Amino acid sequence: MKKIFIQSGVGFLFLAFIFLCTRIPVLAEAYMHYCYPIIAAVLSFLTRWAPFSLLDVLIIVAMIWLPGSIVAMCMRRLKFRRWASICLLSVLWMIVWFYMAWGIGYFRPGFHERFGVEQPREDREFFEAFVIRYIDSLNHAYIADPYFDVREIDREIEALYEKRRESTRLPYPCGWRRTKKTITEPLMTRMGVSGYFDPFFNEVQVNNYALPITYPYTLAHEKAHQFGIASEAECNLYATVVCTSSAHPLVRYSGYLQTVSYLLGNLRKISPDRYKETAGQIDPRIIADYRAIREHWTKALNPALSAVQDKVYDAYLKTNQQQSGILSYSEMVGLLLAWDTIDQQNTTEK
């Protein structure tokens, strides 16, 4: 009993620190700046040997233990009090583990505050020109039947993050980012999940069902999470920044392909009368690629599972101070406009 009280007490001390981080963004920023890179390096070093997802193993063990422990209680081999204390302690330490290992990143100051740049004001003409600029770049980046090598793509994106470490202010190298396989991939596909980052074991996972033209952007997005970035919008921004700056044809095309889809989504809301005309400037072959991506995922998607996944993830993000929920993915456009301002300032200074 004394051991349980000690474990609970230490756990609640960690929870108290986590609570302070939710109220003091500067404290969260200091933790993610000084402590997280060490944690990421240690965790990723210890887990990189496994080619499969260790989170899957943890989930499987939990799924086996829970019904097994209930059976043990029914057979009077395990007392309810003992079972309840194990469950409560497990939940407590899973919460602590999640936030101390990575989740505190949700409470750090936002992108604009960290980079000292103002929120862009709405200017329809400027935004339309901005979108057209990216469409032109997308048309030039188009490649037919791209050569696809997973290891080559991984090396390229790693090199890009190292090259952009100063401008992105990401703590490179921050450990290792081996892309893992997951046994839940069929379920991920049915839910429409293209990839995810596991904060418990510091693992990067990309759904191999994804088409080659979308794989690099998804990989860059998940790697951004591993650098301690919790915001989905900000991870999209870094994926755009590194992919569109690549000399690798597939990586560059993937970057512009995904970025333009976000830009057009916002253009449809801001200037619906200009949307069709602007989208019509996209190369028909690229339009065919967009259609192929949509049809590829539609074939495998289970609408009910996808809806449940969206609601659960939306609630999860809002619980962690991402008030826009899953809509935060599209907020990348605002960050991209701010990044354009930063790039212009840096170019002027040079």
pLDDT in tens, 281-304: 999 999 999 999 999 999 988 888
> What local confidence, expressed as pLDDT, does residue 325 receive?
38
Q: What are phi and psi of 195, to 5 degrees?
A: 175, 165
Q: Taking 90 as the threshold, does the pLDDT of residue 207 lie above it? A: yes
Residue 323 vs residue 249, higher pLDDT? 249
pLDDT grade, residue 330 (50/70/90)? low
Neighbours of 24 (CB within 10 A): 12
For residue 268 the two structure tokens come to 């449809």
Q: Which residues pair with 195 in a beta bridge?
A: 206
Average pLDDT over residues 224-247: 96
DSSP 3-state assignment of 267? helix
> What local confidence, expressed as pLDDT, does residue 182 receive?
84
For residue 58 the two structure tokens come to 């943890």
**Worst-scoring range by mean pLDDT, 66-80, 205-219, 251-265?**
66-80
Average pLDDT over residues 6-14: 88
- How deeply is 17 buried, as exposed, middle or buried, from its count of CB atoms within 10 A (0-12, 13-18, 19+)? middle
- Report d(CA 302, CA 104) in Å as an integer: 33
**Worst-scoring range by mean pLDDT, 15-24, 271-280, 289-298?**
271-280
- Report d(CA 174, CA 7) in Å as an integer: 30
Domain ranges, ordered by start, for the chain:
2-107, 118-349
Q: What's the pTM?
A: 0.92
Q: Which residues pair with 203 in a beta bridge?
A: 198
Give the residue from 247, 228, 237 showing the smallest Cα distance to 159.
247
Average pLDDT over residues 4-29: 92
pLDDT > 90: percent of the chain: 64
* 124-146 CB burial, b ≥16 within 10 A, e <16: eeebbebbeebbeebeebbeeeb
**pLDDT single digits (tens) 148-192:** 999 999 999 999 999 999 999 999 999 999 999 888 888 889 988
- Report d(CA 233, CA 336) in Å as an integer: 9
**pLDDT single digits (tens) 64-113:** 988 988 888 888 788 888 888 888 999 999 999 999 999 999 999 999 89
